Amino acid sequence: MQNKLFIDGRFVDAAARGTIDVLNPHDGSLITAIAAAEAQDVDRAVQAAQRAFPAWSRMGAAERGRLLLKLADLIEANAEELAQLETLDTGHPIRDTRGLDVPRTAGCFRYFGGMADKLQGSVIPVEAGFLNYVQRAPIGVVGQIVPWNFPLMFTSWKLGPALAAGNTVVLKPSELTPLSTLRVAELMAEAGFPDGVVNMVPGYGHTAGQRLAEHPDVGKIAFTGSTATGRRIVEASKGNLKRVQLELGGKGANIVFDDANLDAAVNGAAWAIFHNQGQACIAGSRLMLHDRIADAFLERFTALANSIRLGDPRSPDTEMGPLTSAQHRDKVLSYVSIAAEQGARVLAGGNAPGGELSAGYYVAPTIVEAGPRDRVAQEEVFGPFVTVLRFGSDDEALAIANATDYGLGSGLWTRDLARAHKLAGAIHAGMCWINCYKRVNPGSPFGGVGQSGYGREMGFEAMHDYTEARSVWVNVDAAMPPHFKR
């Protein structure tokens, strides 16, 4: 298992020789200690990426694509190892890392491998006698900061479009969960990516992340994390006016109308909040129920939540594992007291399970019923914690759904097609799922509005976000009368 920095094609120690302990969230035990990148290591990585850029950006697009396709094959060939590593490091249940994270990672690299030679420029119809064409040129060295909630999958979401478009990369995995990303670095070397095209610098956000965001030779920074840190990234990026892409927090409204298929909605709502222990920016963390079905829905929903199998994420029977860190578990549990102080009712959970799970960072599936302005209906908890809100009409549902600063994921459960399409267009969110939740595909743009950030991951939008439009004018046969007659 690799535990060093990956710079210029080699695994190396941090210059200051610092290390960070990586813990198993199931029991708090030490997995390994990784090298801790600091500013000087980030500088070395940026230099390597700068040296690699000319050859990589001039390489045939199909050739870049071929390397990404090879990487996708290697991810699949090493699928079980990657799933085990991700489960060990993050606490995601193995059924999900095997069934979702690893296949989605391979699928994302494959999609952008195929996309590399499909990115086309355009020819603009301008005045007679001139040819104007627009190329999509890579930006240069890009910095990418990946959080701890889906480290493997998010690594592919960030690397795929950046590399396909011809950029070179310095990527900072979270120091909490760097292991699967470092394994991807090894697989990239095996696939034949040239040295320096991708560099990995696990380290703390306030040192390594901050340096990457402010580095004068980094042309773009792509960040996934909290809205507060997103603002810090924007501040840090100002020095060289680098481009910024932000995928930040969310407070997803998941709205169940009185004509919904309740069986599907109950199960879908549980998936929307409890998958990955609720540690997802798109989680359906505000469950909005029509007055007419709310009580019947809650009876079934709380029964389902109370029956979810919590346990060692390495067991194939486990449906929910631990949260990724002790600090984060404590933050999630603090919201139970915050809810109670504001008069919310706890309908399920609200505690850390005891017994054999007490050494790990577990939180029981938690359901609270609150008012739409309460803190638990406004702030991102980022755990297995759902806030129930009731409504009586479509207009009221829309008003409550849009009454947050966030705008990332949203969901609607109804059999009424007109209502579904009308509301999907009116909810202030980058994504809306109708009679499903949390669907993602590498072809479909992913991102938010408002305090959830800007820019898009995946799809053509992501490729465009990793390129600059370069406009070239040619005088083919235009008569050019002199501007200054002499």
Interface with ligand NDP (CB under 6 A):
145, 147, 149, 174-175, 204-206, 209-210, 213, 224-226, 229, 232-233, 247-249, 281, 380, 382
CB nearer ligand NDP, residue 198 or residue 208? 208
Least distance from C-beta 4 to ligand NDP, angstroms? 18
Dihedral over Cα of 194, 196, 197, 199: its sign: positive
Residue 228 makes CB contacts below 8 A (sequence gap 6+) with none
CB nearer ligand NDP, residue 24 or residue 207? 207
Least distance from C-beta 381 to ligand NDP, angstroms? 7
- CA angle (213, 214, 216) in 5-degree steps: 120
CB nearer ligand NDP, residue 329 or residue 390? 329
Q: What is residue 210's three-state secondary structure?
A: helix
* Distance separating alpha carbons of residues 94 and 339, to the nearest angstrom: 32
Least distance from C-beta 338 to ligand NDP, angstroms? 14
Is there a catalytic annotation at residue 356? no
Residue 263 makes CB contacts below 8 A (sequence gap 6+) with none
DSSP string of 360-413, one letter each residue: TT----EEEE--TTSHHHHS---SSEEEEEEESSHHHHHHHHT-SS--S-EEEE
Least distance from C-beta 311 to ligand NDP, angstroms? 23
Least distance from C-beta 119 to ligand NDP, angstroms? 26
CB nearer ligand NDP, residue 175 or residue 312? 175
Beta pairing partners, 141: 168
CB nearer ligand NDP, residue 245 or residue 414? 245
DSSP class of 238: G
The CA-atom distances, in angstroms, between 486 and each of 254, 481, 483 are 72, 12, 10
The residue assigned the tokens 């979401």 is 157
> Catalytic: which of 86, 214, 247, 369?
247
CA nearest neighbour of 289 among 387, 208, 180, 206 = 387
Q: E-strand spans in 276-356?
A: 286-290, 345-348
Least distance from C-beta 469 to ligand NDP, angstroms? 28
Least distance from C-beta 247 to ligand NDP, angstroms? 6
Q: What is the CA radius of gyration of the chain?
A: 24
Q: What is residue 177's three-state secondary structure?
A: coil
Least distance from C-beta 252 to ligand NDP, angstroms? 12
* Distance separating alpha carbons of residues 375 and 387, to the nearest angstrom: 10
Q: E-strand spans in 28-75?
A: 30-35
Q: Which residue is nearest to ligand NDP (CB)?
A: 205
CA nearest neighbour of 255 among 365, 451, 395, 383 = 395
CB nearer ligand NDP, residue 118 or residue 206? 206
Beta pairing partners, 390: 289
> Catalytic: which of 86, 281, 319, 380?
281
CA 89 to chain centre: 17
* Distance separating alpha carbons of residues 26 and 357, to the nearest angstrom: 7
CB 334 within 8 A of CB 358: no
CB nearer ligand NDP, residue 107 or residue 230? 230
Residue 41 makes CB contacts below 8 A (sequence gap 6+) with 5, 7, 14, 15, 201, 203, 208
Q: E-strand spans in 77-138?
A: 122-124, 130-138
CB nearer ligand NDP, residue 59 or residue 234? 234
Least distance from C-beta 173 to ligand NDP, angstroms? 7
CB nearer ligand NDP, residue 48 or residue 212? 212
CB 118 within 8 A of CB 462: no
Is there a catalytic annotation at residue 247? yes
Catalytic residues: 247, 281
